[in-house]
Chain A
Amino acid sequence: DAGVIQSPRHEVTEMGQEVTLRCKPISGHDYLFWYRQTMMRGLELLIYFNNNVPIDDSGMPEDRFSAKMPNASFSTLKIQPSEPRDSAVYFCASNLGGRGFSGANVLTFGAGSRLTVL
């Protein structure tokens, strides 16, 4: 398996522009997570999906952020309009979910998308 695949790996954009980050989870994993990592705040959960349905979006900072999962193999995180404080590394992760307790919470992360908003 190729693991969790994210694109783009790096994005530099100007304030006010729309940014779209993409993620392909591991095949067969039915949970998908979007995390953001900064030096100040560490790894923060933005939103997660189960079977393509958003379960918890309480971490989404504001209306400028939106996430979709149109099918089991693809998700997007969109920021519109982007601001300099959105600069961070955005990680997508997936896991198998609660099919028995052992290993249920072991997330597998993608390589991340480093976003810089000027």
Chain B
Amino acid sequence: EDKVVQSPLSLVVHEGDTVTLNCSYEVTNFRSLLWYKQEKKAPTFLFMLTSSGIEKKSGRLSSILDKKELFSILNITATQTGDSAVYLCAVPPQGGSEKLVFGKGTKLTVNP
């Protein structure tokens, strides 16, 4: 069965700290891995990593994919209170279907 495991489950930091969120996956026929940010409402898309693009960066957020070790990390530098959210990792399961299997998420709290 396809599996996505995120760690830690929760994290509390101070503004300005750097954080690293982890996502490990077990899925055959890997296609892509996606990161989402969920504040109070709907998850919103951050990054997609594929075999041809193993590193992505957007401002203070960056993500890398290690296909050999089957994990991805999401880094946030110089954290701000607005980064407080649940960060979700997801992969399409084997068979290449359009659906996504999500991890349970990491709840990040950034205190001023």
Q: Is the CB of B101 within 8 A of A98?
A: no
Residue interface mask B20-51, A partner, CB < 8 A = 1: 00000000000110100000011111001010
Find the A residue at minimum CB distance from B45. A106
Cβ–Cβ < 8 Å partners of A111 in chain B:
41-42
Number of A-B contacts (CB under 8 A): 56
Query: Which 4 A-B pairs have CB atoms at the shortest separation, nearest pair first?
Result: A109-B42, A42-B104, A43-B102, A111-B41
Taking the closest CB of chain B, its distance from the CB of A69, in whole angstroms, is 15
Pick the interface stretch among B58-66, B67-75, B91-99: B91-99
Cross-interface CB contact of B100 among A4, A55, A103, A107, cutoff 8 Å = A107
Interface residues on A, range: 20 to 34
Cβ–Cβ < 8 Å partners of A105 in chain B:
31-32, 34, 48, 90, 92, 98, 100
Interface positions of B (Cβ within 8 A of A): 31-32, 34, 41-45, 48, 50, 88, 90, 92, 97-105
Given A106-B45, A111-B41, 7 more pairs with CB closer than 8 A: A42-B105, A48-B98, A50-B98, A91-B43, A101-B31, A103-B48, A105-B98
Residue interface mask A77-109, B partner, CB < 8 A = 1: 000000000000001000101100111111111
Taking the closest CB of chain B, its distance from the CB of A7, in whole angstroms, is 14
Q: Is the CB of A45 within 8 A of B98?
A: no
Cβ–Cβ < 8 Å partners of A25 in chain B:
none
Taking the closest CB of chain A, its distance from the CB of B77, in whole angstroms, is 24
List 21 A-B pairs, Cβ < 8 Å: A35-B102, A42-B103, A42-B104, A43-B88, A55-B97, A56-B97, A56-B99, A91-B42, A95-B98, A101-B32, A102-B50, A104-B32, A104-B98, A105-B92, A105-B98, A105-B100, A106-B48, A107-B100, A108-B45, A110-B42, A112-B42
